[in-house]
Amino acid sequence: MLALLLSVMLSTSAALLAKYALTSFSPFTMTALRIWIAALVMLPIAIVNVPGGLHWRSFRSALPMSLCYGLNSVCFAIGVSLTTAIATQLIYMLVPVLALIGTRLFFREALTSFKVIGTTLGISGVVIVLLGSLEGGLGHSLGTPLGNAFILIAAFVWTAFTLLAQRQSKAYHPLELVCYALTTCALIMPLLVLPDILRHQAIHASVTWLALLSAVGLALLVSVARDITLQWGIQGTSAFVASAMGFISPFLTVAYAIPLLGEQLSVNLFISGALIIVGLFFAVLLPAQQQRRARRSMELPPTSAPSPTLSAPPESGATLPTQPD
């Protein structure tokens, strides 16, 4: 639980650190620094902890997943420079709902009525954010349409990354997948940064210590520490608990975005946030809780009629029937 809470806190700090880093660096330069530093740190960790080490064939098999990881980082960097941290966090909360749609389309998983209701509510909340950003007076609350569009693309790509990673996690170590993704992005980043360097747009102004430390923080706290704590937390709890912890993200974002970034709340933001949170409850948490109860009921032993022999001590090697919680 502590690991998952730390993972959520590190994840919500991405928008704040990116805002500070973008004061000196272009979106591509910031992303390149983040990926390069994270790859240099994650590579030795994966080599030491992955059984059997890293392999070129596995690297090629994970290439589609790695490209989705890189595209998400680029779209996030561009989008967060044009929109607010609060709107960014709300749109990213749509990822579990998008994952349900993806599992239905690609893995043929059934959609229950609860999942349909949750998906509809979640999409409605994001539509309110996108339409509300068209109003000129809500720039400090809902951001800009272009910025929200890039964040929405990033959410779609991150969903594709999680689905591909989930499918490949049966054959790969979690740290191995993260290492392949970061290595692929590190090799591609020079192609994206070079145009900014040639146009002298890689650095907007004089590089400040705050911007530099924010770029390093994105690499170490978000791209490295968040992924490690997330994998550690999931191993010790369940997917239900991990999904529930995500509800803390908007409140943490509001806590720092208003005093530190000067962002504002609005009625549209409240409505969209409420729709997305209720949608997540119906689409993710309620079905997960039902599945958990079904598994627990199947694990309980069948009840039998009482008999005088039940009071006798069990024989050697026998098992006492378990009682429900």
Distance CA 125, CA 265 (A): 15
Average pLDDT of 77-97? 81
Q: Distances in Å between the alpha carbon of 93 and those of 51, 69, 77, 160, 182?
A: 34, 17, 17, 15, 23
Q: What pLDDT is attached to residue 4? A: 74
pLDDT tens digits, one per residue of 186-238: 999 999 899 888 888 888 778 889 999 999 999 999 888 887 787 676 656 55
Smallest CA-to-CA distance from 189 within 209, 163, 215 is with: 215
Where are the domains positioned within the chain?
Answer: 2-297
Taking phi over 0 as left and psi of -120 to 50 as alpha, with beta for the rest, 201 belongs to alpha
**What are 59-85's pLDDT values in tens digits?**
888 899 899 989 999 999 999 888 888
pLDDT surpasses 60 at 22: yes
pLDDT at residue 214 in the model = 92
CA 286, CA 182: separation in Å to the nearest integer? 34
| 149/79 Cα distance (integer angstroms) | 7
Measured CA to CA in angstroms, residue 278 lies from 281, 283, 293, 299 at distances of 5, 9, 21, 30
Q: For 269-290, how does the pLDDT look when each residue is reduced to its tens digit (9 = 90+)?
A: 777 778 777 877 776 677 767 7
Residue 34 confidence class, pLDDT cut points 50, 70, 90: very high
Paired tokens of 260: 């530190």
The token pair that represents 52 in the structure block: 């059997």
The residue ranking higher by pLDDT, 323 or 140, is: 140
For the stretch 107-134, pLDDT in tens is: 666 667 777 777 777 777 777 766 766 6
**Rounded percentage of the chain residues whose pLDDT exceeds 90:** 17
